[in-house]
Structure 1
Amino acid sequence: MLTRPHHLTRPQRRAAPALLALLLALVPGCARHTGSDDLPDPPAVPGGSYTVALTEPDHLTPGRTTSSYALQVIQGLFDTPVSLDPADGHAVPLAAESVTSDDQRVWTLRLRPGGVFHNGEPVTARSFAAAWNAAAYGPNGWETNGYFTQIDGYAELNPADGAEPPTSELRGLDVVDDSTLRVTLGAPFSQFPMLLAFPAFAPLPAAAFADPAGYDRHPLGNGPFAMDGDWQHNQRIDLHRAAGYAGLRPPTADGVHFRIFTSKDTAFTELRAGHVDFMTNVPAARAYEAKRTFGRRYTVRPSGTMDYLGLPLWDARYARPELRRALSMAIDRRGITRAIFNEVFAPADSLVAPMIPGHRAGACGDTCAYRPDEAKALFDRAGGFTGTLELYFANSDPTYEQWMTAVANELKQNLGIRDIAFRKMSGADLGPILNGRKATGPYRQNWVVDYPSVQNYLAGLLGRDNRTGWSNAAFDDALTRGNAAATPAESIAQYHRAEDIALAELPLIPLWNWQDQTAWSSRVGNVTVDPYVAGLHLEKVTVRH
């Protein structure tokens, strides 16, 4: 997809991949709003601390989690090789000084000098290689394992038959010297620089392997903030300015306090009361209240986040695509987004969010339209459904249960499914059930975009070892061809072919596209929130003190 040779270096930010330059010009920018209606921004001088509302993460070791709750903390603790520019999403070197390739298959990362972990250990090329190997090694069971499929040798670390891998290291990682890591991919992949912005590609110190459980409670990163005490589960996570940090994101505030809530409604109430300074995802049901209360300190931004209804295809009751399409056509997406989300969310018409270059309006066609009569006829032809239909979702946001209730009522009314039960639990408990394919019914599947590409959704949601258990050789082939295509147009055409295959078989049902609602107190300013993995840029926030 790229003009070759490809180089990504800090002095030449415009030398981002040709694909990105063409595609990401279409991506909406981030929201950057400051201050309040009647107060100027806090001065941009060091000092002070602020509080962010958070849901309990599952892990704080970068390779062990893809949870947006965890990633909000991790991005303050770690510098990845590159970051995504908050304005348009193109890759910008961060811990790496440069990322270069002549053929899109062999990439060379040269690290910025002076990088250290929070315990003083130097950050070297081996620190990155060790972290990536640990995540890619199948028996470890790390959540981000699939992010390393592009690297040569991944298959050996993840034998298809579940056997013990013959090695624990990726063949494609070559530590040339302390500051140089050469990465060989299994095939050309022009979007590799964007992938390097995901926290799974952060480095890990020796302590991460000496005591994995202890490290997860108190991770030592290489980023602008360090842990201030251990993670207090279900209560708080405290960060302070990292001594010795010499990277590109020096923080303005002295500290960040994450307060952990089980309910986003409770978190919003605490924000209104002034006990919390920032909330990333205001409940959609509180949209009007938030706008009245916070004025200019409340924003609604286009988001790459989407909700789906994932389906357990290992259960024979969900095996027929016709039945899966019937479930989809029985759901009134527009009615739900109006009644529950105050039309902040928009009905999905694709597997991909509208803000992503290459999104096709209406790609899902009638399958994502509310057609209850057709749904019932299709449902009957597919043989109907027997037993209890169980719906799995987390308890972290009251809207999850509200929309699951609406979906349950529509499936009962439109398809005649009478026995529907809820399986509601914490996100930390739900994740292992879904990842282990232990769910016995449809589940809330959410995707937060890692980088602005159609490929990120398709590979992330439906690539190897996905939660649904679905696989399709033609889908995989289209993704592979898209990754290695010579031009952006050819690449997108192949990704569209893959999306069409997935929509025809429908292993998961697109529901709606989020728009992110954020609100903050008058104590903080210089607020920058982007739609990518970083979310709130912790290091930029100023505090009135």
Structure 2
Amino acid sequence: MRFRRKLLALAGALLVASAVVTPSAAVAEQQHGGIQNTRIRMFNTEPFRPLLPGDTNEWGGGRLISMMFTGLVGYRLEDAAPYNAMAKSISTTDSKVFQIKIHRGWRFHDGTQVKARNFVDAWNHVAYGPNKLRNNTFMDKIEGYRDLNPVTGEPLTKKMSGLKVINDHEFQVTLSAPLSIFPTMVGYWAFYPLPDSFFRDPAAWLKHPVGNGPYKFKEAVPNGHQLLTANRHYKGVEQPRIKELLYTVYPDTSKAYDALVRGEMDFMEAMPYDKITSGQYKKDLPGRYTDRNFLLMQNLAFPSYLPGYDSPDLRKAVSMAIDRTELIKLVGGGQKPADGFTIPGLEGYQPGQCGELCTYNPVKAREHLAKSGFQGPLQLHTNIESGARTWMGPVCQSITATLGIACETKETMSFREFRQAVVGRTITGAYRSDWRADYPSIENFLSPLYRTGASSNDYGYSNPAFDAAMDRADRAPGKEAALELYREAERLLVQDMPVVPLWQEWSAVGWSDRLRNVKVSILTDLDVFQVKVVC
């Protein structure tokens, strides 16, 4: 998320953390048709890519896309369980051929109807290899995907054979093999529909994106802000209640936090680590925060294309040189030490998958370092906005103290520059890599990150045995059988340790005294359908 990535908040019983509304608190300005004539100001990072669902897999763009679009499936805020959104029904008898019916009456922001072909055309566009979209591999389970992504040469077609439009409100999806979690997957951004206007003039559309969600794109100023406005004709179960959502780009989380405390910002879903560690946020935002574990994971990624960093023994050495329990005390105390490549709260999670390799053991760490032949220095990179300096310094100190090699932290790039270096493979060392659930399954913490050539496998990891194990899991006859096979695939990763798992994130979310009825999802999203603004 990617991730970091991204769930559309629409319905369900929610985790509630609300300030008390006093009798004198006035609702901000006048309401028009149930929509408050005001705005909520939120933190954001500069989107790495244009706001095209099939080309976005990080949270700077995902925050916006999740408000601008509604997919076939949404995810409940309290546990990310899927429910039908634009889909009227998704049915199958064999988990290979799916009949998908969509609700009538939905329209894109340009007034055109959302039809079955808008999903089919969008999916084909994402899958077409020459388009080089970041979420391309999310389509790889659909029959005909390989024809659009040949190993050599150019594709001979632009359409997957597994997609068939039945009528304006129904289409059929045929997968190359059964996949029991497919109905859960299709709520992710890659599967959002696109209007005809995109295909008529993609360049113009990218300047002013048009979706079908509760909020419409209004404007964006590079490295400044993005502004969305309520869609008064939205057909979802819940309606937008706030006229505008203003997302402001801050150079780092500390400056964003200061703006929140001063009342210049209304909502921040990831406070700086130092404010969490000290507990300062509780003093600065009395009654205006919630803190808990979320469906986010923090890792250290090691580029397999860099000499030295490609050694599994180096990665094992680093993993066993980190005392996760002590490190967590430095960053807030609520994180859960990683014991595998997935986290609690995901369907199929099994504790202890990483075994001793995720346990602090200086003696064995030095043994693995000796096998690797790595002499140092070891570089750990992050972006300026992340606030990760709070824990990356202690990680480096632990590595140096345990392994006897120099360790350097690098925090010189903006998020956009950081992502460009990671994706462009110009980064010169290991780097912070957090992952936010796209949907609540362990498959989502495995397939996009570790399959050969997967959408978020930025470090170039490749293991044919792991790929084959994931394929077997995908083809399992039922959900429980699939989850067991995904767990087997996860255990194969321990042999290579493509990343060093650190912890499941525990975070504090805060808001200004303008907001009431604040509800926060398990992915740290603000429920914009329930929140109110007061003067």
* Equivalent-residue separation in structure 1 for 2:430 and 2:42 (angstroms): 32
Residue 506 of structure 2 corresponds to which residue in structure 1? 515
Residue 422 of structure 1 corresponds to which residue in structure 2? 410
Residue 255 of structure 1 corresponds to which residue in structure 2? 244
SS class of match (2:410): strand
Residue 137 of structure 1 corresponds to which residue in structure 2? 128
Whether 1:86 and 2:77 are equivalent positions in the alignment is: yes
Whether 1:404 and 2:392 are equivalent positions in the alignment is: yes
Q: Residue by residue, what CA displacement relative to the aligned partner does 1:176-216 show, whole Å, maximum 9, x if unpaired?
A: 22211211111111111111111221111233344444433
Whether 1:31 and 2:21 are equivalent positions in the alignment is: no
Give the direction of change, closer, same or farther, for the CA distance of 1:438–1:183 in structure 2 (3 Å limit).
Answer: farther
Residue 203 of structure 1 corresponds to which residue in structure 2? 193
Pick one of 217, 220, 230 that aligns with 1:241: 230
Pick one of 171, 182, 195 that aligns with 1:192: 182
Residue 332 of structure 2 corresponds to which residue in structure 1? 342
Give the direction of change, closer, same or farther, for the CA distance of 1:424–1:498 in structure 2 (3 Å limit).
Answer: farther
Deviation, 1:416, is: 2.8
* Equivalent-residue separation in structure 2 for 1:407 and 1:141 (angstroms): 36
Q: Which amino acid aligns with 1:493?
A: E
Deviation, 1:487, is: 4.2
* Equivalent-residue separation in structure 1 for 2:506 and 2:407 (angstroms): 33
Alignment of 1:208-357 (within 5 A): 208-228=198-218, 230-287=219-276, 288-339=279-330, 341-357=331-347
Deviation, 1:360, is: 2.4
Give the direction of change, closer, same or farther, for the CA distance of 1:423–1:290 in structure 2 (3 Å limit).
Answer: closer
CA contact (8 A) 2:17 2:518 kept: yes
Moved more, 486-495 or 29-38: 29-38
CA contact (8 A) 1:72 1:536 kept: no
Q: Residue by residue, what CA displacement relative to the aligned partner does 1:431-479 show, whole Å, maximum 9, x if unpaired?
A: 2332343433212111101111111101121123122222223222222
Pick one of 458, 461, 464 that aligns with 1:470: 461
* Equivalent-residue separation in structure 1 for 2:312 and 2:403 (angstroms): 16
Residue 448 of structure 1 corresponds to which residue in structure 2? 436
Residue 4 of structure 1 corresponds to which residue in structure 2? none
* Equivalent-residue separation in structure 2 for 1:421 and 1:353 (angstroms): 26
SS class of match (1:53): strand
Pick one of 170, 175, 186 that aligns with 1:180: 170
* Equivalent-residue separation in structure 2 for 1:419 and 1:224 (angstroms): 47
Aligned-residue Cα RMSD (Å) equals: 2.4
* Equivalent-residue separation in structure 2 for 1:181 and 1:433 (angstroms): 39
CA contact (8 A) 1:118 1:243 kept: no
Deviation, 1:419, is: 6.6
* Equivalent-residue separation in structure 2 for 1:195 and 1:344 (angstroms): 29
Deviation, 1:403, is: 2.5
Deviation, 1:113, is: 0.9
SS class of match (1:31): coil
CA contact (8 A) 1:329 1:368 kept: yes
Q: Residue by residue, what CA displacement relative to the aligned partner does 1:293-317 show, whole Å, maximum 9, x if unpaired?
A: 3233211132111111111112342
Give the direction of change, closer, same or farther, for the CA distance of 1:209–1:412 in structure 2 (3 Å limit).
Answer: farther
Q: Which amino acid aligns with 1:165?
A: P
Deviation, 1:41, is: 8.4
* Equivalent-residue separation in structure 1 for 2:404 and 2:300 (angstroms): 19
* Equivalent-residue separation in structure 1 for 2:324 and 2:206 (angstroms): 39
SS class of match (1:396): helix
Deviation, 1:290, is: 1.6
Give the direction of change, closer, same or farther, for the CA distance of 1:40–1:328 in structure 2 (3 Å limit).
Answer: farther
Q: Residue by residue, what CA displacement relative to the aligned partner does 1:146-180 show, whole Å, maximum 9, x if unpaired?
A: 2212111222222234x322222222111222211
Unaligned runs of 5+ in 2: 1-10
Residue 53 of structure 1 corresponds to which residue in structure 2? 43
CA contact (8 A) 1:35 1:41 kept: no
Q: Residue by residue, what CA displacement relative to the aligned partner does 1:45-84 show, whole Å, maximum 9, x if unpaired?
A: 5313211121222232211111122212111111111101
* Equivalent-residue separation in structure 1 for 2:106 and 2:66 (angstroms): 16
SS class of match (1:314): coil
Pick one of 361, 386, 411 that aligns with 1:371: 361
Pick one of 523, 526, 539 that aligns with 2:517: 526
Pick one of 361, 374, 378 that aligns with 1:384: 374
TM-score (norm 1): 0.88
* Equivalent-residue separation in structure 2 for 1:371 and 1:302 (angstroms): 26
* Equivalent-residue separation in structure 1 for 2:465 and 2:530 (angstroms): 45
Give the direction of change, closer, same or farther, for the CA distance of 1:498–1:470 in structure 2 (3 Å limit).
Answer: same
Deviation, 1:267, is: 1.0
Q: Residue by residue, what CA displacement relative to the aligned partner does 1:359-382 show, whole Å, maximum 9, x if unpaired?
A: 222221221112223211221122
Residue 4 of structure 2 corresponds to which residue in structure 1? none
Q: Which amino acid aligns with 2:198?
A: A
CA contact (8 A) 2:297 2:503 kept: yes
Whether 1:393 and 2:377 are equivalent positions in the alignment is: no
Residue 9 of structure 1 corresponds to which residue in structure 2? none
Q: Which amino acid aligns with 1:265?
A: S
CA contact (8 A) 1:77 1:225 kept: yes
CA contact (8 A) 2:181 2:479 kept: no
Residue 164 of structure 1 corresponds to which residue in structure 2? 154
Q: Which amino acid aligns with 1:538?
A: V
* Equivalent-residue separation in structure 2 for 1:393 and 1:495 (angstroms): 30
Unaligned runs of 5+ in 1: 1-12, 14-27
TM-score (norm 2): 0.90
Q: Residue by residue, what CA displacement relative to the aligned partner does 1:130-158 show, whole Å, maximum 9, x if unpaired?
A: 22122222222211112212111222222
* Equivalent-residue separation in structure 2 for 1:101 and 1:42 (angstroms): 50
* Equivalent-residue separation in structure 2 for 1:86 and 1:42 (angstroms): 27
SS class of match (1:99): strand
Pick one of 490, 502, 516 that aligns with 2:493: 502
CA contact (8 A) 1:42 1:523 kept: no
SS class of match (1:446): strand
Moved more, 514-523 or 479-488: 479-488
* Equivalent-residue separation in structure 2 for 1:215 and 1:82 (angstroms): 24
Q: Which amino acid aligns with 1:323?
A: L
Pick one of 139, 152, 156 that aligns with 1:148: 139
CA contact (8 A) 2:298 2:435 kept: yes
Q: Residue by residue, what CA displacement relative to the aligned partner does 1:220-240 show, whole Å, maximum 9, x if unpaired?
A: 111111122x21111111111
Give the direction of change, closer, same or farther, for the CA distance of 1:429–1:80 in structure 2 (3 Å limit).
Answer: same
SS class of match (1:255): strand
Percent of aligned pairs with the same amino acid: 32
Aligned residue pairs total 513
Deviation, 1:423, is: 5.9
CA contact (8 A) 1:153 1:172 kept: yes
